[in-house]
Chain A
Amino acid sequence: MISSIGTYLPCWGTATARLAGVDEDAITLAVAAGIAALRSVDVNDVQHVVIVSRELPLLEGGNSAALLAGLGVSSHVRVSEVSGGAPATLDALTSAVLGTLVIGTEVTPTAGAAAAFCGADGPSLTAVDRVTRSMPVATRDSSGRRSDYSDPRLLRVRGLGESLEQLDKSEPIIAAAGLAVRDAAALCDGTPPALPTIGASATIFAIAALIEQRRAGRIAGVEQAALSVATLGAQTSTIARDERSPQPRPTGEPTPGLDLPVSLAAYDRAFDAKLRLDAAKCTTCGTLSYPHRYRCLGCGSEAPTATVALPRDAEIYTLATIRVPVPGLISPYTLTLVELGDSGVRVLVKLTGAEAGSVKIGDAGRLVFRLVATRSGVPDYGYNLLPTRVAA
């Protein structure tokens, strides 16, 4: 049963073509969608996380630890990294057991992510048929090299068309993920939901749209000549959309000249606190220290500390907008020193989701999981400040 769905669209781009921010990748998008889906779920109920994408940042070195940390899910939970598009996400959902969080995420051509938690209630999703055929008009090898055969009609007729021919056609399809609007309309009975993405996340965006429209029936996931079809039941489920209205993405390229070095030892020591936003709580005086430290900020105790989650609502205490070029970074950028809720803890974070310099002291926002930097090939994740939008 699909008991909860969360969606996320970056705030950049246009209504029909969202763009990922410079501090976003497939993992941070997935985290945003996953957090939305888990708003109504106890994270301890998550037994398995399946992330489906064609754009996972690392082939080797691991995306899963960052994903779990960003989601706030235990590092003991199983993660499956699935390379695939819309049909793969549908397959993951139809084969999921209770407690599985399935996330589809993509950066290009339009960015977005959607997550579905499989729980005890909500609409069922039952596999109908799967056709796996090869019509590789677009390819990308393990080094990222792309080739494009550039023959959309061949793909439509001999690729998808032939796969559809082989399909059980006893019932009509009402939604199609993985296709352009026109192609989806041709495939479906009635008007299929318009979807913001075309890859792995599109399947869950389609399910969310059908649930919101209170429609049940067959949904297709398509990727080139591969096709998967499932039937969505009639029940409703919780849908949380983290989708700000879009604005133009600031232009700007990193100033050339430097590859930021990384200390993996320091990265490792900071990892949990930094990605899970956990403070150390002194067991003697209760003072919160962030980052964690050997000796308590408050009383000097060196006893072992407890770990507590920090609030994510933030208020700007002070800030600095860097306008000069800084090698390896995109200028201008704004650094903010923000106070987290009533915790008394301040963190130094970069501004995201708004133009540099567009915020002021006292402004409110929340911390969001983002790619802070890429250093020597290592994605360095942490939190940035997403300011609350004030109605004009």
Chain B
Amino acid sequence: MRRVAMVGAGMTAFGELFDLGIKDMLPMAVTEAVTSVDKGFDRADIQAAWFGELVSTDGFATGILADSCGLLEIPVSRLENACATGNDAVRHGAMAIASGMFDVVLVVGADKVRETSTRTTFWDWMGMTRDSAWDFPLGLVAPANFALHAARYLHESPTATREHLAMVAVKNHKHGVTNPKAQMRFEITIEQVLNAPMVVDPFGLYDCTPQSDGAAAVILVAEEIADKYTDNPVWVRGVGLGIDRVMHQHKPDMTTFPPTVKAAKAAYAMAGIGPNDIDVAEVHDCFTGVELINYEDLGFCEKFGADKLIENRETYVGGRIPVNPSGGLKAKGHPPGATGVAQCVEIFEQMRGESTNQVDGARIGLTHNIGGPTAVSAITILSRDRA
């Protein structure tokens, strides 16, 4: 397989972008990625594109990307893999180059969540998680999928409490303050989190990601031509994707997300590294408790050690293993298709020492999504080092 280099990355701000349509956000993110390329980039070099979008907005997805970004001469494919869409799109772009089929590939992720009323969003997102006869009529809304895990996790963990969930929100809000692209750039306190209205027990308002619009894009090229675009490429060292049984009824242990464990195993193996080699990570914190479980599934700590990790501030920037320096989904925002790609944008900047919340000396970074009815995870490992 050929090595794959990331040479450009860009994104729109995340937020309730009522003034921007999908046809505005896509070219904004792509143009930012194009202009981020150190030695200049002609978009005519792009040979193929993958577009990750969870829910179609304004119709035919691939045509909208090609049309709005001036990419009418290349093949464009749309990819949907629940909340793991973004990192899976990056994975597909990387595979296309690694295989030798293409030399320059564009990967875009976007979603326009706030194009519909907040009232219908729960049901719109439920489309991803529903079995028409069995789950749908019950009202298994998105937060409930994760709450079922978090409740069992808190039950089984000897030490974790709702306060530890709150600590995740406090950290990610603090991290988001310096990020100009983040949706929520303000700090919060443990008390605010604990006293906020409940959404789905044990998640209060501040335990949940906001609803966001946004787009992100990265440019991947083959090792042989990376020099043409930059002297500071970021290498796609590993990708992985894991799947689990769809219905919660069939998941024997709900204190873990087996898709994450599987995706991590594949990505670590491909990169030839282990969890201790990760200097910085962007993980899926759609709900605070999910970030804690991720620490364990990704191998950042032992089983039921996540509360200690956050309690000891080890996942803050400056700690042993900084997690979500961008603010994460919690503070940066969560347009599902864009989320994984935007995580790669952050780690791209981290690897090049350009992040607004830089982790000193970071050489290897990881991005992670978990989604659907907690049944799919996609992971990307990026590094300053070619191997």
Contacts of A54 in B (CB 8 A): none
* Cβ contact within 8 Å between A327 and B122: yes
Contacts of B95 in A (CB 8 A): none
Give residues 232-270 of A contacting B (CB, 8 Å).
255, 257-258, 260, 262-263, 266-267, 269-270
| Interface stretch (choices B8-16, B129-137, B174-182, B304-312) | B129-137
Q: Known contacts being A257-B120, A357-B201, is A318 close to B137, with CB within 8 Å? A: no
* Cβ contact within 8 Å between B134 and A291: yes
A15 close to B (CB within 8 Å): no
Contact of A317 among B122, B140, B199, B254 (CB under 8 A): B254
* Cβ contact within 8 Å between B152 and A260: no
Q: Known contacts being A320-B147, A320-B201, is A361 close to B152, with CB within 8 Å? A: yes
* Cβ contact within 8 Å between B137 and A322: no
Instruction: Considering the complex, give the chain A residue whose CB is closest to the CB of B144.
Output: A320
Contact of B249 among A263, A323, A347 (CB under 8 A): A347
A324 close to B (CB within 8 Å): yes
Q: How many residues of B contact A (CB 8 A)?
A: 33
Q: Roughly how many angstroms separate A270 CA and B147 CA in the complex, as a whole number?
A: 26
Give residues 103-125 of B contacting A (CB, 8 Å).
119-120, 122-123
Task: Name which of B131, B133, B140, B198 has the most chain A CB atoms within 10 A of its CB.
Answer: B133
* Cβ contact within 8 Å between A346 and B139: no
Instruction: Considering the complex, give the chain B residue whose CB is closest to the CB of A297.
Output: B250
B17 close to A (CB within 8 Å): no
Interface residues as binary, A276-297 with B (CB distance below 8 Å gives 1, 0 otherwise): 0000000000000011000001
Instruction: Considering the complex, give the chain A residue whose CB is closest to the CB of B136.
Output: A260
Contacts of A291 in B (CB 8 A): 133-134
Q: Roughly how many angstroms separate A257 CA and B131 CA in the complex, as a whole number?
A: 21
B247 close to A (CB within 8 Å): yes
Q: Roughly how many angstroms separate A260 CA and B147 CA in the complex, as a whole number?
A: 23
* Cβ contact within 8 Å between B151 and A319: yes
Q: Roughly how many angstroms separate A372 CA and B136 CA in the complex, as a whole number?
A: 10
B83 close to A (CB within 8 Å): no
Q: Roughly how many angstroms separate A328 CA and B120 CA in the complex, as a whole number?
A: 10
Contacts of A375 in B (CB 8 A): 137
* Cβ contact within 8 Å between A337 and B132: no
B101 close to A (CB within 8 Å): no
Q: Roughly how many angstroms separate A317 CA and B140 CA in the complex, as a whole number?
A: 16
* Cβ contact within 8 Å between B141 and A322: yes
Contacts of A274 in B (CB 8 A): 133-134
Q: Roughly how many angstroms separate A266 CA and B197 CA in the complex, as a whole number?
A: 36
B149 close to A (CB within 8 Å): yes
Contacts of A380 in B (CB 8 A): 137
* Cβ contact within 8 Å between A323 and B199: yes
Instruction: Considering the complex, give the chain A residue whose CB is closest to the CB of B205.
Output: A324
Q: Roughly how many angstroms separate A382 CA and B200 CA in the complex, as a whole number?
A: 23
Q: Roughly how many angstroms separate A274 CA and B140 CA in the complex, as a whole number?
A: 17
A137 close to B (CB within 8 Å): no
A65 close to B (CB within 8 Å): no
Q: Determine how close the nearest CB of chain A comes to the CB of B259; give it in whole angstroms.
A: 17
Contacts of A361 in B (CB 8 A): 151-152, 155
* Cβ contact within 8 Å between B248 and A348: yes
Contacts of B198 in A (CB 8 A): 321, 323
Q: Roughly how many angstroms separate A350 CA and B135 CA in the complex, as a whole number?
A: 10
Q: Roughly how many angstroms separate A326 CA and B199 CA in the complex, as a whole number?
A: 11
Q: Roughly how many angstroms separate A156 CA and B143 CA in the complex, as a whole number?
A: 57
* Cβ contact within 8 Å between B155 and A348: no
Q: Determine how close the nearest CB of chain A comes to the CB of B87; give it in whole angstroms.
A: 26
Interface residues as binary, B144-174 with A (CB distance below 8 Å gives 1, 0 otherwise): 1001110110010000000000000000000
Contact of B148 among A263, A318, A328, A333 (CB under 8 A): A318
Contacts of A319 in B (CB 8 A): 148, 151
Contacts of A328 in B (CB 8 A): 123, 139
Give residues 352-381 of A contacting B (CB, 8 Å).
357, 361, 372-373, 375, 380
Instruction: Considering the complex, give the chain A residue whose CB is closest to the CB of B204.
Output: A323
Give residues 185-208 of A contacting B (CB, 8 Å).
none
* Cβ contact within 8 Å between A266 and B138: no
A41 close to B (CB within 8 Å): no
Q: Roughly how many angstroms separate A99 CA and B135 CA in the complex, as a whole number?
A: 37
Q: Roughly how many angstroms separate A15 CA and B290 CA in the complex, as a whole number?
A: 45
Q: Determine how close the nearest CB of chain A comes to the CB of B121; give it in whole angstroms.
A: 10
Contacts of B133 in A (CB 8 A): 263, 266-267, 269-270, 274, 291
Give B residues with C-beta under 8 Å from A: 119-120, 122-123, 131-141, 143-144, 147-149, 151-152, 155, 197-201, 247-250, 254
- Nearest 10 pairs between A and B by C-beta? A373-B137, A270-B133, A320-B147, A318-B152, A266-B132, A266-B133, A321-B201, A320-B144, A323-B198, A346-B249
Give 29 pairs: A residue, B residue, CB < 8 Å, sorted on A.
Answer: A260-B136, A260-B137, A270-B133, A317-B152, A317-B254, A318-B151, A320-B143, A320-B144, A320-B147, A320-B148, A322-B141, A322-B143, A322-B200, A323-B200, A323-B201, A324-B199, A326-B139, A326-B141, A327-B119, A327-B120, A333-B139, A337-B148, A346-B249, A347-B249, A350-B138, A357-B201, A361-B151, A373-B138, A382-B137
**Contacts beyond the supplied A321-B147, A335-B144: 8 A-B pairs with Cβ under 8 Å:** A258-B123, A262-B132, A267-B133, A320-B143, A320-B200, A323-B199, A337-B254, A380-B137
